Amino acid sequence: MDEPDTAAILPGDVLDAAPTDDQLSDTLGHKEEAGEPTSSSVRPPFPCCLPVSVEPVMFLSMFSLALQAPLSTQYLWDRISEDLGYNGSKRSECGNSSMPPDPLQKEVETLTAHWNLYISLGGFSVGLLVVPLLGSWSDLAGRRPVLIFPNLGMALQAVVYLVVMYLKLPVVYFLVGRLLSGLSGDFNAILAGCFAYVADTSDRRSRTFRVAVLEACLGLSGMLASIIGGQWRRAQGYINPFWLVLATNLASALYAYLFVRESVPQVPTARLFSTHHHKAVWHLYSTGGSSNESGGGFHRCKLWLYTLCFFVVVTVHFGSRELYVLYELSSPLCWGSELIGFGSAALNLAYLSSLLGLKIMQCCLEDSWVALVGLASNIIGLIVFSVADTTELMFTGYGLSFLFMASTPVFRSKLSKLVDPSEQGALFASVACVESLCFLVGSGVFNSLYPATLHFMKGFPFLFAAIILLIPVGIIGTLQYLDQRRNHGDSTVS
């Protein structure tokens, strides 16, 4: 029987983010007793004395991603509009629903959505192979390399984007930069490394909240980047903000190298290019892991079902996120870069409100009910987005989505609790693989669905997203009911 998912969380739990010297010594001691190879290189050149560990890495990496994502879409829009001779942003009838739709605007929207699709598919299809390789490899080589190399790859992507903007090269070169970033693992590898690090250094009692704190870093950095990006692009164009993207990725890699303590013992002979890493991920899901010995088939079933829930929710998050800028740029909203920045900031603010809501709800609700509340907030917000034709209604949708990120920390925590501590690396490698697939499927489905449904309902992709979120709602509710029956049966027998 699984241990309870919820418990009272002490105020000091969040301050235990960085592993102490005693914790690292205990970890190494256990490995040495088990006869496993260890390495003495567990300390960075300048160990950070602050009560943080990988949070700054997550913050800086997400800042660069959130800064460049909407700017890249707007740059594609402007370049394609320039090539086609479209100047819709200055049309007096923009936002006037009585005017007939401009066929040139529809062509710009379609081409921009398709280029977003090609770039996303290129990067994430490569990452789908690389991320699980890096995640499982980090079990042997350590977490720090997985925090450093992807940041360098994202910095290289920013360099390619800057060259395209300076020389006004064809937008197809954006795809080249995206592929280079994907080969290094991209942002998904950083996510895998950070969450695996938190699993290494937390206990079952505090893990859900620790994961939520890490995800809140995503929201805070995304909110700041969205505000800065919109204002900066309006004042100085695209090039200067992308220099900050480059600097931020380099700073994140440098911080990981200089300050992050290693959380797992290192094996100097560990090979990166080995089939063992992919086999370890497959073995976890085919057998249910070592902890499945006492849980039977139901345990393995839960592992698959929670992964399915995570897949559906994250696919909706990232698939719909790519459409917000397109939806807001065009008629009837016709937002400029400033309003787009505020909209992205409102969306990312939900990371912080979800963290606060999760903290409060955990005092009286089990984790499964917290996830259901978060999913309900997400569904309601998407329904409002699907019919939003005014600025006020669009921001209402952002407000109603204030708890939409409360479900993903629960899924990550539940998955982590289903496997043994020795299997955390393989688990988060598989989660990273699923997350890469989420980007791939989300980009493909939503960027294809948006232009295909413009003629009958512009907000249909958001309505479609709300409908498919009913799948994880049903799964979580059913598993919670079955768990309660099992617990009640065990207590009756006792």
- Work out the number of other CB atoms within 10 angstroms of the CB of residue 93: 13
Domain count, the chain: 1
pLDDT less than 70: residues of the chain: 1-52, 88-102, 269, 274-278, 288-297, 422, 488-494
What's this model's pTM, rounded to 2 decimal places?
0.73
449 closest CA partner among 465, 436, 437: 465
Cβ partners under 8 Å of residue 435, min gap 6: 131, 188, 191, 192, 314
For residue 273, count CB atoms less than 10 angstroms from its CB and return exposed for 0-12, middle for 13-18, buried for 19 or more.
Answer: exposed
Q: Does 246 fall in a domain?
A: yes
Q: What is the pLDDT of residue 491?
A: 57
Domain residue limits at 479: 50-85+104-260+292-486
Q: pLDDT tens for residues 464-494?
A: 999 999 999 999 999 988 888 877 665 555 5
Q: Does 96 fall in a domain?
A: no
Q: Does 188 fall in a domain?
A: yes
Q: Does 168 fall in a domain?
A: yes
481 in helix, strand or coil? helix
| Domain CATH number, residue 167 | 1.20.1250.20
Cβ partners under 8 Å of residue 318, min gap 6: 438, 439, 442, 443
Can you tell me which residue has the tokens 């960085």? 18
Structure token pair of residue 272: 């990166």
